[in-house]
Amino acid sequence: MNMWDMNNSLDLHRLRDVFLYDHDAPMLFSSGLFLWLFAAFFVVYVLLQHRQTARLLFVTAFSYYFYYKSSGIYFYLLALVTVGDFLLARLTAHEQKLWLRRLWLVMSVLLNIGLLCYFKYTNFLVDFVASLTGGTFRHYDIFLPVGISFFTFQSLSYTIDVYRRQLTPLTNLLDYAFYVSFFPQLVAGPIVRARDFIPQIRRPLFVSSEMFGRGIFLIMIGLFKKAIISDYISINFVERVFANPGLYSGVENLMGVYGYALQIYCDFSGYSDMAIGIALLLGFHFPKNFDSPYKSASITEFWRRWHISLSSWLRDYLYISLGGNRHGKLRQYLNLIITMFLGGLWHGASWNFVLWGTFHGIALALHKMWMTVTGRKKGAQSHGLRRLLGVLVTFHFVCFGWIFFRNTEFASSIEMIHRIVTQFHAELLPQLIAGYPAVFALMGVGFLLHFLPDSWEEGCSRTVIHLPLWGKTLLMLVLVYAVIQMKSAQIQPFIYFQF
């Protein structure tokens, strides 16, 4: 084979890789492939700015391609949910008989939750039944499509809102397909409500200089959080500690827990920042999904700041449906525990997630009880030393929960806690920091940036917004160079891709 043929073969190979799904290299916002594809996508998107239907078709097609590159042939599930809920919502809206409206809603719930249960919980449920009956558990080889928890919840919220008469159903399937599949938030949220997003679909495309600058800023901080802080401390420290907690002292285990708290925050909020930023570049507004959650002085405040789109979804469609606080205090506490129990199960088919969710449900109920006993009003803010103590207690409770969230085996969680309590050895901390200088430097930077006043972030955002285009481009190139220098050889998927 001559050099010309070899070059042609390599080019065809690269071109094939662009279009074919690779299980070991899913499409990520932080990958070089996506950055190049998005640049090309954005050019076509701008050229179609005055051709609305063509633009919607183009974005929807790209979204399905994006999902195919994330989950392979399972994009058909996205299409099934889209067409099914579109038709069921229209049937619900036009039906006057209450029992038939409820029937269409139940069918939508069965469609979405049924798919979720099959792909996510089949092995978990079969294993649970086998353990109760003494039978033999046979593991089924079922692939978990990326983002199925997100797009099923998003589509289900649409049919529920239509059933509640809070939303008029769409008459155009393309509009609904655009809403459900919109690629910035398709595979890991935020869970965008139809009533917030659908009114934006047919508006004339408009991206102000502030939206563009804000979008670039969010993409940069999201990339910094994910590809520099989260990935580096995960690969070089956190994974090692959680893999074998018994090999490390208590102080090393505790630092590993602190590292994971920062890792999961930077990983998930980084994805949300990039999703919100990309949407802004395309002329769409997404709600904020994280609001410095480790600044919270209570567990209730934490859930107002952490994964806001999921916590508000659980509140509006599960907690309120269970009765909320309308049937007395004891019922309210039980509803909180049930909601968080199911919220934990939403994260994965494993008892560690169930335990984690139950911990948080009990903590929320106890905090509500404490608020009732002390007479403090909802939303009341503490100040000074009292708030500082509240932040410390809340942060460490959340970190305690992360131990069970991160470890797949209950025994590993107990081992980690045992090492922290009985084999702490604080004198090893200087040696530990000296052994992992880059890890602890990044952890220090990550927590420092997290606890800075919100006005500092807003100031940085304004600075980027007012930079000329060449300045924004230079900043992005510097960040991409830093990512290339620090990235590992192995692709690091976003943590919430597994949910």
Q: Which two tokens stand for residue 137?
A: 């558990």
What is the dihedral sign for C-alpha 137, 143, 147, 150?
negative
Size (the chain), residues:
499
Could you tell me which residues come within 8 angstroms of residue 456 by beta carbon, excluding any fewer than 6 positions away?
Answer: none
Q: How far is CA 466 from the centre of its chain?
A: 30
- How far CA 312 is from CA of 157, 163, 193, 406, in Å, comes to 11, 19, 10, 23
Task: Give the pair of three-digit tokens for residue 307.
Answer: 């994964």
Joined together, the tokens standing for residue 142 give: 């079922």
Cα(152)–Cα(272) distance, integer angstroms: 18
Residues 119 and 144: beta-carbon distance below 8 Å: yes
Tell me, what DSSP letter sits at residue 238? I
Q: Looking at the annotation, which residues are catalytic?
A: 347
Structure tokens at 427: 């004198």
- The Cα-based distances of 273 to 10, 265, 333 in angstroms read 35, 11, 33
- What tokens does 295 get? 């600044």
Q: Residues 407, 409, 410, 412: what is their CA dihedral angle, to the nearest 10 degrees?
A: -70
Q: Which two tokens stand for residue 65?
A: 């391609």
